[in-house]
Structure 1
Amino acid sequence: MYQIGNIYGITAIAVIGGGLFGFDISSMSAILPTDQYRCYFNQGPHGPGFDDEVKCSGPTANVQGGITAAMPGGSFIGALLSGYLTDMFGRKTTIQIGSVIWCIGSIISCASQNIAMLIVGRFINGISVGICSAQVPVYVSELAPPSKRGRVVGAQQWAITWGILIMFYISYGCTFLEGPTAWRVPWGLQMIPAVLLFFGLFLLPESPRWLARKDRWEECNAVITLVHGKGDPNAPFVHLEMEEIKQAIEFERQNADVSVTELFKPKMLNRLHIGIFTQIWSQLTGMNVMMYYISYIFGMAGLSGNINLISSSIQYIINVFMTVFALIYIDRWGRRAPLVIGALLMATWMFANAGLMATYGRPAPPGGLDNIAEQSWQITGPASKAVIACTYLFVASYAPTWGPVSWIYPPELFPLRVRGKAVALTTSSNWIFNFALSYFVPPAFVNIQWRVYIIFGCFCTAMAIHTFFVFPETAGKTLEEVEEMFMRGVPAWKTRVEYNSVKKAERGQLDDKEKAIGLQHEQSPERLENAAGDVKA
């Protein structure tokens, strides 16, 4: 069967798995404030119905938190399962399993007759998102050359932003339909990308590193030749890549315990902590809260109806546009700088919103604005426009920094023998915090109101400090070079981007001295500082 060898073509199909998560986020944010949804799942005094004279309040704050949190709850389970599935069946097959599960969940969600059925459907959808979000970055990172790895893995975040934007406008268009059709249609249409993903994966090669672990060396060499050598098995980078993979596999088999318990041993525990906190902090920025409940936030700022939904969509456009900068420059910027700078910028906008809400806002009438209890605080006038502007600036700060880097960074931290399970574990931490925040935020808006912004502002400040002192630079290094960096214990703040030298190596422009270093530096314990320094000199 024909296989795509261009890394960008491979990425374009694989990251559809990320788009599934985006579809879920925006469909929920667009559907939440609609009368069709609130009346069908109404828990107010009048119960379900579509009486125009009755303003339905929808599910209670706690129940709505549970409905929203069902998806990340399922994602937590799916991410954990994916580590075992990917080691057993391969990266491609595991992602295909995830796409089938997504279709099952979507069918149940769009056919929901009550809240319980909706929660079950969203939970099953979550299992799919957990599997795909954990294994798509692993799959793409194992195929990509080092100088493009950040760009192509970061494309997962771009796919998420496109999924958010496309599904939001589909959902918005469906709000003009009558009755439950308004939410059944978008939740049914979200099966389409999963179907495309399932069949598109047949055109892609398997991960060469997974093939090597299974002793399928001819297939491994064929994939590297296809993707990195453009069909030329004698290309310099093909030889370098095969040598590094062979030595890594040999080392693992002679010296390493490949069970999941290795992740908790002293030499691996530090990078596990870094990977887990990369995902935890990405949630504690508050970005997904902004995405899920943006209609609540803009409702507090005085927007309602279609104006609220259209204004909400602007942040999704900003999200798509600003992520492009990361795709272009992330391998030059590295990982550390975007994480630190992005966290500081987001803290600024969170504290600014808290100050504006506290100074110029006031409690909403009993029952909340527009009969939505979560909109329990209101702000009007020029200050409300400043809140909306800060929200947009927050999204613009997240999109080129924590958004893509939180997916790029964890797969780069771990050696091949544990990468599938390790990334599954780190991604599961993302989803368990997503679950907690999805459940926490609606009642938080009711009970502590504008102080929610202070909480997230403090989180952003803490993560800036943590990443500066603890998170090392992995950009421009092969996955095997990253392994040695951790083994040697190089302090995080002394690590640097190795973009130019690895780019030169990939283009086959090494002179004789550099080639010798490239083939021999695996055996040198001084490789990271001396050999790389010689190449640059």
Structure 2
Amino acid sequence: MAKITNIYAITSIIIIGGLLQGFDISSLSAILSTSPFKKHYGSPDANSQAGITASISGGSFLGCLFAFTLIDRLGRKPLLQIGSVIFVIGAIICTASVDVAMLIVGRLICGFAVGIFTSVGPTYLAEIAPRHIRGRLISLQQWSITWGALTMYYISFGVSFTRTNATFQIPWAVQILPAGVMFVLLFFLPRSPRWLASKDRLDEALQVLAELHGGGDSSAPLVQAEFLEIKEAMELNSAMGHIQWSELADPKNFQRISVGVFVHIWTQLSGNNALLYYITYIFQMAGLTGNIKLTAASIQYVINVVMTLPAILFVDNIGRRPALLFGSVMMMTWLYATAGLLKVYGYGIPGGLDGQPVVTWVVHGAASKAVISSTYLLVATYSTTWAPISWVYPAEIYPLRFRGKAVSVATSANWIFGFAISYFTPPAFQNLAWKTFLIFGTFNVAAGLHAYFFFPETKGKSLEGRMSPHPLHSLLTKLLDIDELFAKGVKAWRSTSHATDRLGELVQTIEQHGIKSEGEV
């Protein structure tokens, strides 16, 4: 069977999972407030709306746990294909749903698939990507999410003028097509070379590396260097025996596991995802109504797409830490500004606005424009900083030995907190009003402090562990890669000073001394 080996073509197929996640974000944002939706599902109250919205996050959490148990057994590619089939089933149930309970079941199933996509996809990309563009490729996962959100919002907005059940049935049915396309195209993708090596299929691993990074030449220095690293990592893993659950809870791995988990937790607690789900309510608070409200909300998704581009282009130059720290400070600023504007210039609406119980606080005039601007700036900041890096960071900080499982655990934290935030936000708007933004702003303060003290820089570093002593590359044992960065306890704020290129040194060694046989210098 023909194989797709262009790294960007492979990435474009893998990130279809992100596209499907984005579809969910904006479809509900455009659909929840429409008359056909309210009529068909019996005008769901704030708690019911929260349950509908949060159900996909709950399903995604379960999907991550499913991926945890099978990612190392089945491999990355087959698991993604399973996710594609599950998503199609969920989308069909959503489209055919006759009540809230059936809709929630369908969204749980779709979410289960999204959990697989978001835990397995970044792992696969990290394991096939050249290290100098690893951040860029994984950041494309977030870009696909933003494109999915933008595309589905305008589809939902367009069909809303039908004033029929097509308002919500067409958007949910459309999701079936990309999931089916992803399933088929995955047949043409190579297996992860690192997964192949973990199954002692070293010849296949070398061949895949050659196709991906050497133009088919298995003797290319870069291919040989990467193969040697992977092979030695496999030897170390073999000596340690099968991976045990206890290793993930080992105090020696605590910082490593925790920062991967918390980059997802802080991403959800930043408030941006919750506000995207319920953006139409926020603009109702700002005094917008009807089509003006929906058009203003669509600008959010345009900003989301456009402002993810700087992260894709520069994340491998600027690094992870500067973006995370800058993002926390600026998101805190926009959220506190929104809370202040609503408190000072707004007023309460007992019982809710225009029959919408969630909107209990309104602001008008110049202050409303400032609230809308702050919301736009929040999305712009998030899209450039925490959003893409939350996918990059966990996929690159874990060793091959437990990378698949650890990424699944980290991503599950994203979804369980996404579930909580999605469920919490409508009642929060209803009962806390402007204070909701104050809470999210304070979370960003905590996120910034945590990132400064505990999140080391990982840009450009090799995924594999420290090399064993060897007469031709013993100098490489002194260089810091991601494994040693954590093992040596380098202070996070000093980690940028250790930006050595260990794999590059090994490539030079192979070029100077030649290759005796595959993987030996």
Please name the residue that 2:348 is paired with. 363
Tell me the amino acid that sits aligned with residue 395 of structure 1: V
> Which ranges of structure 1 fall in alignment gaps of 5 or more residues?
43-57, 523-537
- The one of 444, 449, 464 equivalent to 1:465 is 449
Cα deviation 1:141-171 (Å, max 9, x = unaligned): 0000111100001110000000000011111
CA contact (8 A) 1:260 1:421 kept: no
Distance 1:118 1:450 in 2: 31
Deviation, 1:486, is 1.4
- The one of 374, 384, 391 equivalent to 1:407 is 391
Question: Is 1:456 paired with 2:440?
Answer: yes
Question: Is 1:398 paired with 2:382?
Answer: yes
Please name the residue that 1:48 is paired with. none
Counterparts in 2 of 1:513 and 1:37: CA distance versus 1, 3 Å: closer
Please name the residue that 2:135 is paired with. 150
Please name the residue that 2:334 is paired with. 349
Please name the residue that 2:476 is paired with. none
Distance 2:510 2:226 in 1: 18
Please name the residue that 1:45 is paired with. none
CA contact (8 A) 2:225 2:510 kept: no
State the SS of the aligned residue for 2:384.
coil
Distance 2:512 2:71 in 1: 34
After superposition, residues 67-466 of structure 1 pair within 5 angstroms as 67-255=52-240, 257-364=242-349, 366-466=350-450
Tell me the amino acid that sits aligned with residue 491 of structure 2: P
CA contact (8 A) 1:23 1:163 kept: yes
What is the identity percentage for the equivalent residue pairs of Structure 1 and Structure 2?
Answer: 50
Distance 1:125 1:305 in 2: 30
Distance 1:144 1:498 in 2: 22
Deviation, 1:499, is 7.2
Deviation, 1:503, is 9.3
Question: Is 1:39 paired with 2:39?
Answer: yes
CA contact (8 A) 1:332 1:499 kept: no
Distance 1:164 1:322 in 2: 14
Tell me the amino acid that sits aligned with residue 187 of structure 1: W
Question: Is 1:25 paired with 2:25?
Answer: yes
CA contact (8 A) 2:226 2:503 kept: no
Deviation, 1:256, is 5.1
Cα deviation 1:66-117 (Å, max 9, x = unaligned): 1111110000000111122211111001011111111101000010101100
State the SS of the aligned residue for 1:278.
helix
State the SS of the aligned residue for 1:3.
coil
Distance 1:513 1:216 in 2: 23
CA contact (8 A) 1:367 1:373 kept: yes
Deviation, 1:370, is 2.2
Counterparts in 2 of 1:497 and 1:219: CA distance versus 1, 3 Å: farther
Counterparts in 2 of 1:429 and 1:320: CA distance versus 1, 3 Å: same
Distance 2:511 2:275 in 1: 49
80-89 or 467-476, larger mean C-alpha shift: 80-89
Distance 1:185 1:8 in 2: 30
CA contact (8 A) 1:147 1:502 kept: no
Counterparts in 2 of 1:500 and 1:30: CA distance versus 1, 3 Å: farther
Distance 1:303 1:498 in 2: 51
Question: Is 1:485 paired with 2:485?
Answer: yes
Distance 1:342 1:470 in 2: 16
Tell me the amino acid that sits aligned with residue 11 of structure 1: T
Deviation, 1:217, is 1.0
Question: Is 1:12 paired with 2:35?
Answer: no
Deviation, 1:398, is 0.4
Distance 1:422 1:349 in 2: 33
CA contact (8 A) 2:125 2:137 kept: yes
Distance 2:245 2:384 in 1: 33
Counterparts in 2 of 1:328 and 1:504: CA distance versus 1, 3 Å: farther
Deviation, 1:260, is 2.2
CA contact (8 A) 1:146 1:502 kept: no
Counterparts in 2 of 1:446 and 1:109: CA distance versus 1, 3 Å: same
Deviation, 1:255, is 2.6
Aligned-CA RMSD value: 2.0
Deviation, 1:497, is 7.4
State the SS of the aligned residue for 1:495.
helix
Please name the residue that 1:49 is paired with. none
Distance 2:253 2:3 in 1: 36
Distance 1:100 1:513 in 2: 44
Cα deviation 1:13-37 (Å, max 9, x = unaligned): 1011111110011101010111111
Counterparts in 2 of 1:337 and 1:301: CA distance versus 1, 3 Å: same
Distance 1:111 1:276 in 2: 36
Tell me the amino acid that sits aligned with residue 28 of structure 1: L
Counterparts in 2 of 1:5 and 1:499: CA distance versus 1, 3 Å: farther
Distance 1:171 1:158 in 2: 20
CA contact (8 A) 2:35 2:163 kept: no
478-487 or 432-441, larger mean C-alpha shift: 478-487
TM-score (norm. length: structure 1): 0.90
126-135 or 487-496, larger mean C-alpha shift: 487-496
Distance 2:511 2:461 in 1: 16
Tell me the amino acid that sits aligned with residue 31 of structure 2: I
State the SS of the aligned residue for 1:316.
helix
Cα deviation 1:235-258 (Å, max 9, x = unaligned): 111011000000101001113551
CA contact (8 A) 1:208 1:221 kept: yes
Distance 1:230 1:213 in 2: 23
